[in-house]
Amino acid sequence: VRIDHTFDDLDSILEATNNPSAAVVDEWEADDDGVYDDGNDWVNSLMQSLPETANRLKGWRQRSYRAWVNRIEKKFVSPETSRALRTVKSIVDNFAEFGAIDVFSLYSPRDVIASIIALSRLQTVLSNDDTKRKTFGKEEEVEEALLDELAHYSHFASVAYGWKGGLFCGGLQFGQNNRVLSRRTGVKKEDIVQANWHSKANRPAYYIVRDHERNSIVLGIRGTLSPRDVLTDLCASTGNFIIEDGHVETNHTNDNQTEVASSFPLRIECAHKGMIDGAKGVARTTGKIITAELDANPEYSLVIVGHSLGGGVAAVLAAMWSERFPNRVRSFGFGNPCVFPRNSTASYANIVSVIGQGDPFATLSLGHIVDTTRALSTLCKEEAFRVEILKRLGQAKAVEGLSKDDLKWLQNAKTYLNQQMDADKLYPPGQIVYMSGTLFNLDPVEGISVGQKGDLRPMHVDRFGELMVHVRMFDVSRHLPVRYEAVLKRLNSDR
């Protein structure tokens, strides 16, 4: 595999930008000989002054706990997995520093449960407000050309799971992964450029194919399927990445010799750290291959697709390569997670995210969790306020069941809670397309056909600014790739 080291150099530049001072040595590291050394001689002097019985422990006095952990990691754990584990540990250890409140240790179970019920009912009733729906939604429908592309590439995103992933994603396809890829997408065997069906921490599985039907080179990135992929998901803090500018300047010397110098003005963006590392991992092993394919097919464009984690990594990679392949790279993500901050998520016209109604991962980031704990903490502390919310809600399931006075009071109460919910959050990337409709076109309660094939329309990013608390908030059946395939195919066939 030809490795593209472009991002190795860019990482060094970014590291120097973030840490202009000299590198700090980890005070818990040990020397090669295992001796604990943090730059203070008194530590070793103290160790040497221990009683003679302690000095008989076969060299344990010379080895710190951290030195042994490092050696075990190097022997049994890959560097990528080790870095991911350290990132996850850092998030857990510093969870309170993100602003999260441990409501279960601060308040009684009774107060916490009552607060969850109050917040859930308040969100549910006010989310049905027509005024709010009109604010978030857009009246126009998705163009037919875009719908056709989404329906087409949803198959490419699903098939990235291979035949094993298809067993629980709804596609019962048996055989080798490449054979399933060819059968599901219609791509010939000779047009499968590269396929790596095994993931690492911070480098998901992927494949590259030529889609002659659409004049495109397709890079399909797999979503979460293995424990290594889960590690990438859990690296949920934010990090920086560099967008490469491929502008080339040509200078002519006095002897008519031509010198070509590439200038790379750096643009730094922020995103989900696990997705950034995943995008860099894929870029290092696919960059040169994709460049060669696009050079050999100048009329083709690069389309990066994925579902869930794959869609998030695809979005970051499309942003990274937006200048490397100007006007030739696009990303289509299905069930995309939260990847970019609000101020940059809509700035990429080459990224499209399809978010299904009720998909639990569209409003799940560290910031969303922090906001929810803050709202629950407020309701736990202010019992009278919580009781009044439940009293005014009564048995209402929508705003139509409320009086004007109660509706106005509850809206003010929600505004008060929203003032506590101001953490920095991540959002689904790019232009967001909101998809309604179920897998089998059945009513979720009665289980009978409702005669509604679904809907697809653009949606404002603010629609995904709050984690909705309800009994189906973690219903992963709404996140399955087969649902996106089925609904998009249904909508496209009816056009």
Q: Each residue of 270-315: pLDDT tens digit? A: 999 999 999 999 999 999 999 999 999 999 999 999 999 999 999 9
Q: State residue 308 phi and psi, 5-degree precision.
A: 60, -125
| Mean pLDDT over each residue of the chain, to the nearest integer | 79
Residue 96: its H or E element: none
Q: Would the pLDDT of 446 be above 50? A: no
> Mean pLDDT highest for which of 52-66, 363-377, 438-452?
363-377
At residue 378's C-alpha, the angle toward residues 106 and 411, to 5°, is 160
Helices 383-393 and 404-420: crossing angle, nearest 10°? Answer: 140
Amino acid code (one letter) for 167:
L
Span 366-395, average pLDDT:
93
Query: Please, which pLDDT band fits residue 235 given cuts at 50, 70 and 90?
Result: confident
Least confident of 29-38, 165-174, 413-422, 476-485: 29-38
Q: Would the pLDDT of 178 be above 60? A: yes
Query: Please, which pLDDT band fits residue 228 given cuts at 50, 70 and 90?
Result: confident
Q: Which two tokens stand for residue 94?
A: 């510093």
Q: Would the pLDDT of 378 be above 90? A: yes
Amino acid code (one letter) for 470:
H
pTM: 0.78
Quote the CA–CA distance of 161 and 490 in Å, as a whole number.
22
Amino acid code (one letter) for 440:
F
Q: Would the pLDDT of 377 be above 70? A: yes
Query: Please, which pLDDT band fits residue 170 given cuts at 50, 70 and 90?
Result: low
Q: Would the pLDDT of 204 be above 50? A: yes
Span 237-251, average pLDDT:
67
Q: pLDDT tens, 405-428?
A: 999 999 999 999 999 898 999 999
Task: For the chain, give the longest Cα–Cα distance.
Answer: 87
Query: Please, which pLDDT band fits residue 262 given cuts at 50, 70 and 90?
Result: very low
Least confident of 23-37, 113-127, 213-227, 369-383: 23-37
Who contacts 490 (Cβ-Cβ below 8 Å, separation ≥6)?
Answer: 437, 441, 453, 454
Quote the CA–CA distance of 62 and 25 in Å, as a whole number.
19
Quote the CA–CA distance of 141 and 74 in Å, as a whole number.
53
Helix, strand, coil shares, percent, the chain, to 5: 50, 15, 35
- Cα–Cα distances in angstroms (integers) from residue 31 to residues 25, 27, 39, 53, in the given order: 11, 11, 11, 24
H helix intervals, 19-64:
41-48
